[in-house]
Amino acid sequence: MTASKSSRARNARAGAQASGSRNAARGGAAVKNGGANPSGTAVKNVGANRSGTAARDGGGRGQVRTGVARNGAAERGARTLDVQDDATPRGPAPWLQVTTFVLALAGLGVSIYLTIAHFTESALAGCSESGLVNCTRVTTSPQSYVFGIPVAVLGLAFYVFAVAIMSPWAWRAARREIHLLRIASLVVGIGFVLYLIYAELFIIGSICLYCTSVHAITFVLFVLTMFAVAAWGTKPGAAWKLRYARKLRLAPAAD
């Protein structure tokens, strides 16, 4: 009996210890599982994911907006350059370029004819030789020479230069020296014309129709050149281009 009771008591204690160890193991696992709570981790991860996603999305949107702005600026810049290259007028108005060039060609033609008539001593066609209009009297007078050079030859040299300096290519030139040469040549030319008119009216007492036509062409070229200087400055090619480029930059780009 005594042995049986003691064995039962030992078995009961062993069972109690075994049950306690199982409960402790379960409790420890629960505690461990509770410490690594998936829900808590999920909350933390959700918060991190939301903030990270928001930050990434915000950065992406900012990059997209920045890219759009840059692309828009690039497109406007390209559009401005295209318009500037295609539509930028160079130099004064085209009508002035063409008019001065045609007038210079006309003056050259008359000067060539006067030079030929001077050296061949032939009469000028359609010009009277009596009264106020007397071409022969004018072309054979002492005043038809300046410094020993025939006035017709000086006129020819002037208009050879005028054709080059009045060409559209010269008007569009960016070098200021070309435009200054044009101004200087016209100032000298108009001064010489005034002298010849004075000589015809007050010294010779007759006028030559061909000479008068050259004087008139020189006067018109002088007026147009001074008008170009007043309107576009002494560097009209570059000044006009710069002014037009500024207008393109200030004007809103068309969509």
State the CATH number of the domain containing residue 191.
1.20.1440.130
For residue 201, name the pLDDT band (cuts at 50, 70, 90): very high
pLDDT at 18: 55
Mark whether 50 and 105 lie in a shared domain. Answer: no
Q: What's the mean pLDDT in 151-158?
A: 96
Task: Using the predicted structure, report yes or no on whether residue 148 has a pLDDT greater than 70.
Answer: yes
Q: What's the mean pLDDT in 84-100?
A: 73
Task: Using the predicted structure, report yes or no on whether residue 125 has a pLDDT greater than 50.
Answer: yes
Mark whether 37 and 126 lie in a shared domain. Answer: no
For residue 131, name the pLDDT band (cuts at 50, 70, 90): confident
For residue 247, being part of any structural domain is answered with no
For residue 24, being part of any structural domain is answered with yes
For residue 60, being part of any structural domain is answered with no
Whole-prediction pTM value?
Answer: 0.61
Q: Which domain holds residue 133?
A: 93-236
Poorest-confidence range of 45-49, 78-82, 183-187?
Answer: 45-49
Residue 27: alpha-carbon gap to chain centroid:
84
For residue 139, being part of any structural domain is answered with yes
For residue 250, being part of any structural domain is answered with no
For residues 84-122, one letter each, b for 16 or more C-beta atoms within 10 angstroms of the residue's C-beta and e for the rest, the string is: eeeeeebbbeeebbeebbebbebbbebbeebbebbeeee
Mark whether 45 and 98 lie in a shared domain. Answer: no
Mark whether 151 and 222 lie in a shared domain. Answer: yes
Domains in the chain: how many in total?
2
- Using one digit for the tens of pLDDT, what is the confidence trace for 49-58? 444 444 355 5
Mark whether 17 and 121 lie in a shared domain. Answer: no
Poorest-confidence range of 82-86, 96-100, 241-245?
Answer: 82-86
For residue 68, being part of any structural domain is answered with no
Mark whether 39 and 149 lie in a shared domain. Answer: no
Structure tokens at 84: 């500037």
Mark whether 113 and 10 lie in a shared domain. Answer: no
Q: What's the mean pLDDT in 212-234?
A: 93
d(CA 70, CA 245): 21
Mark whether 7 and 97 lie in a shared domain. Answer: no
Mark whether 98 and 47 lie in a shared domain. Answer: no
Provide the mean pLDDT of the chain. 74
For residue 232, being part of any structural domain is answered with yes
